[in-house]
Amino acid sequence: MMKRRMICLSILLIAATAGSALAQNAGVSSGYPTPKNGFSPAEQRGHGLYLRYCVLCHGVFGDGNGDNAPFLDPRPRDFTAATFKCRSTPTGTLPLDSDLIGTLVRGVQATNMPSWRPLTDENRQDLVAYIKTFSERWKTEKPGDAIKIPPETPVSIESIRRGHELFQKMECWKCHGQQGRGDGPSASTLTDSKDQPIRPYNFAMARNDSRFKCGSENQDLYRIFMTGVDGTPMPSFADVMQPNDAWDLVHYLRTLQTERRSKENEVLKAAGGAATLKSSENKSENNSAADSNGKTHSGGH
Ligand code: HEC
Ligand code: HEC
């Protein structure tokens, strides 16, 4: 219902954008300030596409303050900050072009950012070239190196159990809640880098076709918490989690999506369901109590 309304709104907005682009193409001047150093051909083409498809949300100055922005939650991205949610690169670094292009193809799930799959690959490359002109960071910094993702480890009840322990230890539950419903004790207090309230992702709401903002596969899930969602309170865990432990966490997170068909849910069900994890929840609580008594916090295992 909610999703349908959002899609309708997006279509309306696109239609409106296309209309205003026609008007703009009719005249010579777009009203856009002439850039200092001139645009490359790709940036020039991207500029035209941007005025047609993006400007009503992301704004003439790329600052996320287009005419539609006040009505949208979350707000459109401010490209002048060059902070992006969906990256293969470490937290704080610029994304690769391929990350931005991936976002344009997918759109941003559960927001007003539409998918631009109908455009051509060249269109998307030109748009990316153009939105990079909004921030000097693209001139002074290089994108980060994509994080390495080792091959997925087998899904087993042991892996899910270890993932459950990591979910406790890394305190994912503080924001996402013990059942992953996005209702942990900190959830209602969170704001993004623009001081807008933001809710943690609700895993329990997922259905078979559900996607995350930054992808839909197990690999994407791995990448999301290892690189963080920049500009939001969702941290990166790359510095505190070993690569294979991260796969255990992926396997556990999939079981929080209780209504979604998955290997992980089959394995958990065969082992007796979520109740079998609860017993280890108590155990890990006892362990961590012993830990804090003994003040022994070792990083590794
Ligand atoms: C209907 C409004 C709307 C239109 C039109 C729109 N966007 Fe967006 N865009 C958004 C919103 C809202 C977000 C923020 C989503 C979020 O923060 O979760 C966003 C986010 C983005 C992001 C950031 C993704 C990230 O990883 O952080 C990029 C890049 C982007 N848009 C590019 C574009 C381009 C290029 C166009 C035109 C082809 C476009 N958008 C058109 C609303 C729109
Ligand atoms: C301080 C609060 C906080 C903590 C701790 C936290 N998250 Fe998040 N998480 C968020 C918020 C807020 C979002 C929503 C970001 C958005 O919608 O742009 C989010 C989003 C996500 C997403 C979905 C991103 C997408 O692409 O849609 C995943 C997956 C996720 N978190 C996993 C985890 C895991 C795993 C942990 C623990 C290792 C964790 N989070 C810890 C706040 C938190």
Q: Which ligand is nearest to the CA of 202?
A: 2
**Is the minimum distance from the CB of 284 to ligand 1 under 6 angstroms?**
no
Confidence at residue 228, expressed as pLDDT on a 0 to 100 scale: 98
- CA-54 nearest atom, ligand 1: 37
pLDDT at 91 over 90: yes
More confident residue, 259 or 20: 259
Domain 2-32+41-140: assigned CATH number: 1.10.760
pLDDT classification of 288: cutoffs 50, 70, 90: very low
What is the whole-number distance in angstroms between the Cα of residue 64 and the centre of ligand 1? 9
- The radius of gyration computed from the CA coordinates of the chain, to the nearest angstrom, equals 22
Instruction: Pick the closest to residue 127 from 161, 103, 154 (CA basis).
Output: 103
Confidence at residue 225, expressed as pLDDT on a 0 to 100 scale: 98
Token readout for 57 is 């949300």
Report the distance separating Cα 94 and Cα 140, nearest Å: 11
Tell me the per-residue pLDDT of 192-231, one tens digit each, with 9 for 90 and over.
999 999 999 999 999 999 999 999 999 999 999 999 999 9
Q: At 154, which amino acid appears? A: P
Q: Which ligand is nearest to the CA of 17?
A: 1
Q: What percent of the chain has pLDDT over 70?
A: 80
Output the average pLDDT for the chain: 87
Tell me whether the CATH fold assigned to 2-32+41-140 matches the one assigned to 157-294. yes
**Is the minimum distance from the CB of 201 to ligand 1 under 6 angstroms?**
no
Report the distance separating Cα 59 and Cα 36, nearest Å: 19
pLDDT at 186 over 80: yes
The CA-atom distances, in angstroms, between 53 and each of 112, 123, 169 are: 13, 11, 44
pLDDT at 27 over 50: no
What is the whole-number distance in angstroms between the Cα of residue 191 and the centre of ligand 1? 19
**Is the minimum distance from the CB of 246 to ligand 2 under 6 angstroms?**
no
Confidence at residue 148, expressed as pLDDT on a 0 to 100 scale: 97
Tell me the per-residue pLDDT of 140-163, one tens digit each, with 9 for 90 and over.
999 999 999 999 999 999 999 999
Average pLDDT over residues 268-288: 72
The domain ranges of the chain are 2-32+41-140, 157-294
pLDDT at 17 over 70: no
Confidence at residue 299, expressed as pLDDT on a 0 to 100 scale: 40
Domain 157-294: assigned CATH number: 1.10.760
**Is the minimum distance from the CB of 251 to ligand 1 under 6 angstroms?**
no
Report the distance separating Cα 99 and Cα 143, nearest Å: 11
Confidence at residue 23, expressed as pLDDT on a 0 to 100 scale: 42
Distance between the two ends of the chain, CA-based, in angstroms?
Answer: 46
Query: 226 and 166 in contact (C-beta within 8 Å)?
Result: no
Neighbours of 50 (CB within 10 A): 24
C-alpha angle 118-123-129 in degrees, rounded to nearest 5: 140
Q: Which ligand is nearest to the CA of 83?
A: 1
Average pLDDT over residues 169-185: 98
Name the pTM for this structure. 0.87
> Which of 20, 77, 123, 199 has most ligand 1 atoms within 8 Å of its beta carbon, as the pocket-test mutant?
77
pLDDT at 22 over 50: no
pLDDT at 292 over 80: no
Burial class (CB in 10 A: 0-12, 13-18, 19+), 206: buried
Tell me the per-residue pLDDT of 44-68, one tens digit each, with 9 for 90 and over.
999 999 999 999 999 999 999 999 9
Confidence at residue 293, expressed as pLDDT on a 0 to 100 scale: 40
**Is the minimum distance from the CB of 82 to ligand 1 under 6 angstroms?**
no
Tell me the per-residue pLDDT of 238-253, one tens digit each, with 9 for 90 and over.
999 999 999 999 999 9
The CA-atom distances, in angstroms, between 257 and each of 109, 152, 208, 250, 276 are: 16, 19, 9, 11, 17
Report the distance separating Cα 216 and Cα 86, nearest Å: 12
pLDDT classification of 279: cutoffs 50, 70, 90: low
Q: Which ligand is nearest to the CA of 210?
A: 2
**Is the minimum distance from the CB of 171 to ligand 2 under 6 angstroms?**
yes
